[in-house]
Amino acid sequence: MQQPRPLVISTAPFDRQGGTTNRMMAEVLIALAPVALAAIWFFGVVAILVPLAAAAGACLVEWLAGDRKGLGSLRDGSALLTGLLLAYTLPPGVALWIAFLGGAVAIGLGKLIWGGLGQNIFNPALVGRAFLQAAFPTVMTTWTAPGQDFFHISGQTFAAPLMHGSVDGVTAATALGRLKFQHDPTALDLSPLFWGNTGGSLGETSAFLLIAAALFLIARRTFDWRLFVSTLAGAAAVSGALFLANTDKYPNPLFMLFAGGLMFGAVFMVTDPVTSPITPKGAWIFGAGVGLLVVIIRLFGGLPESVMYSILLMNALTPHINRKTQPRRFGG
């Protein structure tokens, strides 16, 4: 006679997808791989050295803060991913010691000080970049032109800590810099922005590859697609309204989507499950807020780029958004 199965009483959630932190980190790294290869194609060997330096700084601090037995908390891959994401928001010509320091700050101040994995309020990689932006503003706004010799390494790359090396590479203004300081939106070509042959941070040059990465992560259900879509929709709506109001003054909405770090941020930063809202309605609000702030700061603020500050500001609102968008309890 078959024995009846015991009745198990437990708390929610009852529907599990079987996902793990390691699987999520691995899928994000897979999505990041084409972006990394494009960076190497456009900027040469420095696109290998800078990510290695940033990842080393992040992993070293993570290991030192742990029990230092074996790999410790490095096994979940979050420190490695944080260091790499930071690296792809940096200029190609940044000194390696600065990239290393940024990785260390990203983990130390962006993650560990809040209690570790899953406890931080702000995106750790952007915390590291915000620190570098404040500490080294000149280095962080000096952009290398793509297409130089593959093995070219400037004196700045291997400069000693707190020192400056010689600048012997060809620099170029970014598309957003030209818009901000030359005030000529009609001279901006969308094709280089879409395919990637333009100056900028290591990972933000090719909108095509970033869209492909987003589609891969959406298909794998690695992140909430609402965050990615609402970020781009918010930026397109605001910039589109301004463009229709004055086509001579404001750029095409596609320029806003493809230029700078908006696409990279929408794929890899906005969608951070720790620092973004957990409710569907909250995801729409969060993404739309990022897109709105990006356009407003770019066009009316003092900086040509604004993705980092927009995401960090919305990170600060995430707990409030979560509280206000909680669904009503059944019968409540």
pLDDT in tens, 208-267: 999 999 999 999 999 899 999 999 999 999 999 999 999 888 888 999 999 999 999 999
Question: Per-residue confidence at 12, pLDDT binned at 50, 70, 90?
Answer: low
Report the C-alpha gap between 247 and 231 in whole angstroms. Answer: 23
How many beta carbons lie within 10 A of that of residue 73, not counting itself? 17
Rg (CA), the chain: 21
Predicted TM-score (pTM) of this structure: 0.89
Is residue 54 within 8 A of residue 100, CB to CB? The reply is yes
292: pLDDT strictly greater than 90 = yes
Those residues whose C-beta lies under 8 Å from the C-beta of residue 44, and which sit 6 or more positions away, are 148, 149, 150, 151, 152
DSSP annotation string for 264-300: HHHHHTTT-TTTS-SSHHHHHHHHHHHHHHHHHHHHH
Extract the tokens encoding 213. 């990465």
Is residue 257 within 8 A of residue 236, CB to CB? The reply is yes
- Chain centroid to CA 279: how far? 21
Tokens 């003054």 identify what position?
A: 249
Average pLDDT of the chain, as a whole number: 88
Report in angstroms the alpha-carbon separations of 187 from 115, 144, 175, 250.
48, 20, 10, 12
Q: How many Cα atoms occupy the beta-carbon half-sphere of 82 within 13 Å?
A: 38
- Chain centroid to CA 158: how far? 25
Is residue 91 within 8 A of residue 201, CB to CB? The reply is yes
Tokens 């600048």 identify what position?
A: 167
Question: Per-residue confidence at 330, pLDDT binned at 50, 70, 90?
Answer: low
11: pLDDT strictly greater than 90 = no
The pLDDT tens digits of the residues spanning 150-178 come to: 877 777 887 777 776 665 566 667 888 87
134: pLDDT strictly greater than 90 = yes
**Model pLDDT, residue 287:** 97
Report the C-alpha gap between 67 and 314 in whole angstroms. Answer: 33
The pLDDT tens digits of the residues spanning 38-58 come to: 999 999 999 999 999 999 999
Question: Per-residue confidence at 197, pLDDT binned at 50, 70, 90?
Answer: confident
Tokens 């979940």 identify what position?
A: 76
Looking at per-residue confidence, does 2 or 105 come out higher? 105
Here the contacts of 151-160 (C-beta below 8 Å, separation 24 or greater) are 151/44, 151/45, 152/44, 152/45, 152/46, 153/45, 153/46, 153/49, 154/46, 154/93, 156/93, 156/94, 156/95, 157/46, 157/49, 157/93, 157/94, 157/95, 157/96, 158/95, 158/96, 159/95, 159/97, 160/97
